[in-house]
Chain A
């Protein structure tokens, strides 16, 4: 919130949602969210924006045990969400460091009759490069696309392959640098 410059939450929510929708429907495309909002240190503005836009009292948020208190307080206050410790209870999971991943298969993968009940993961990374790196194909991708992620454990890509093989079950992932996001829904096929 900038002093003296009133913001309209409805418009921030809408703009960020559209950016997420764009990346989710075109996996591998990168969208800049900018430097809003102004979260505590170690919580990327882009990741915070995604949380503010999607998470609320109806969606429990999983965050790791070691998450600093100020980040927990910030999310509880601004999203009004319950914070949970059991991975399979989270509708959303926030992972602060892509190099320090929990066992991602422990998150809720959904129910075969209700695959939409699976978790959405927000993983903070350092940088996203487009045009080189991992080869992605699948719905939303015209042919193929390559992305290279800095600050993400390589085991992630094996997990994503496994995730895709469970389809229609599976989690959907949003990777967030300080200012940008890229989404990897369960439909994404990874060629390593």
Chain B
């Protein structure tokens, strides 16, 4: 890599037109944003380490993305293009609600296209379209502590991270193998960042874990209720925990996407009728739509009764 020389020095700093909300730009006051920004910088400087921060109450409930929202509120500016996904989809209710909130308090330009976005806030997925240099992923995190199910106490897990005492984590995964013949963790699958900290990648399916390794994008994780921020800088090694005799592997489907025919994407299962007929569709709606626009067709694409899934029918009212 050579270097990037970007100007942050625009002579005028006129903000985009925003609705008069009675709140500061980005909802949070400047002092709160400074506190969060300092925490983000420390998180970047110590990859995978959870920085405690004084999380604020947000106008959405805890558990609904308040960590991600506080990060986005501290990051977003007039030059950004913002994308919000939940379960990979831009049109799930909570994604719509969060996107609308930021459009209102920052006037930020929004998009559904992964390639157009400079900041992507997500719950439970990493887009299928490869991320690029300069993009920032913001994750909503419910439980940031990967060791929480082994040790409930914060005082203990903090010591374990400090002393790099991660033996128990491997023991737990190995118990899975002894009991089930495989590691039975499918999402929130723990990773080791830059060969030091064990980190929870948030409840993304393990299918998405490899996308974090040496990613050109910056990944920032926010847990509002638990009041932690952590990060993976670009071009950083992120290794999913495994064993020599049980190497890490991701989910595969026998089917392809019913709409676009993709075989390389994460698929959601949809039950179509009372007879239990089902189909698989891409969880990443932008990826699927783009493929359909490019002319890719899946086996169910011609079916009339699934117009709503294709995004061409009337939306639920």
Asked whether A and B interact, the reply is: yes
Enumerate chain A interface residues (CB-CB to B < 8 A).
5, 7-22, 24-26, 28-36, 53-54, 56-59, 112-116, 118, 120, 130-131, 139-145, 167-168, 172, 179, 185-187
Let me know if B9 and A33 touch, CB within 8 A: yes
Q: Does B76 reach chain A (CB closer than 8 Å)?
A: yes
Let me know if B162 and A11 touch, CB within 8 A: no
Q: Does B201 reach chain A (CB closer than 8 Å)?
A: no
Taking the closest CB of chain B, its distance from the CB of A112, in whole angstroms, is: 4
Let me know if B6 and A10 touch, CB within 8 A: no
| Chain A to chain B: the 7 pairs with minimum beta-carbon distance, closest first | A34-B9, A142-B1, A185-B45, A19-B8, A140-B233, A139-B236, A116-B42
Interface 0/1 of B9-37, CB less than 8 Å to A: 11111110000000011100011011101
- Choose among A34, A35, A141 the residue that contacts B1 (Cβ–Cβ < 8 A): A141
- Taken together as a complex, chains A and B put the C-alpha atoms of A106 and B222 apart, in Å, by 32
Q: Output the nearest chain B residue to A118 by Cβ-Cβ distance.
A: B42
Taking the closest CB of chain A, its distance from the CB of B294, in whole angstroms, is: 29
Enumerate chain B interface residues (CB-CB to A < 8 A).
1-15, 24-26, 30-31, 33-35, 37-47, 49, 51-52, 74-79, 134, 158-159, 161-163, 194, 196-197, 216, 218, 231, 233-237
- Taken together as a complex, chains A and B put the C-alpha atoms of A53 and B158 apart, in Å, by 30
Contact (A140, B235) CB under 8 Å given A56-B34, A115-B46, A116-B39: yes
- Choose among B4, B79, B162, B231 the residue that contacts A22 (Cβ–Cβ < 8 A): B4
Let me know if A8 and B13 touch, CB within 8 A: yes
Q: Report B-chain residues with C-beta under 8 Å of the C-beta of A16.
A: 8
- Choose among B7, B14, B52, B233 the residue that contacts A26 (Cβ–Cβ < 8 A): B233
Let me know if A172 and B9 touch, CB within 8 A: no
Contact (A142, B234) CB under 8 Å given A16-B8, A22-B6, A35-B9: yes
- Choose among B41, B78, B162 the residue that contacts A24 (Cβ–Cβ < 8 A): B41
Taking the closest CB of chain A, its distance from the CB of B35, in whole angstroms, is: 7
Let me know if B235 and A142 touch, CB within 8 A: yes
Let me know if B46 and A116 touch, CB within 8 A: yes
Q: Report B-chain residues with C-beta under 8 Å of the C-beta of A35.
A: 9
Let me know if B158 and A113 touch, CB within 8 A: yes
Let me know if B33 and A13 touch, CB within 8 A: yes
Taking the closest CB of chain B, its distance from the CB of A4, in whole angstroms, is: 12
- Choose among B11, B44, B74, B78 the residue that contacts A25 (Cβ–Cβ < 8 A): B44
- Taken together as a complex, chains A and B put the C-alpha atoms of A8 and B11 apart, in Å, by 12
Q: Report B-chain residues with C-beta under 8 Å of the C-beta of A131.
A: 2-3
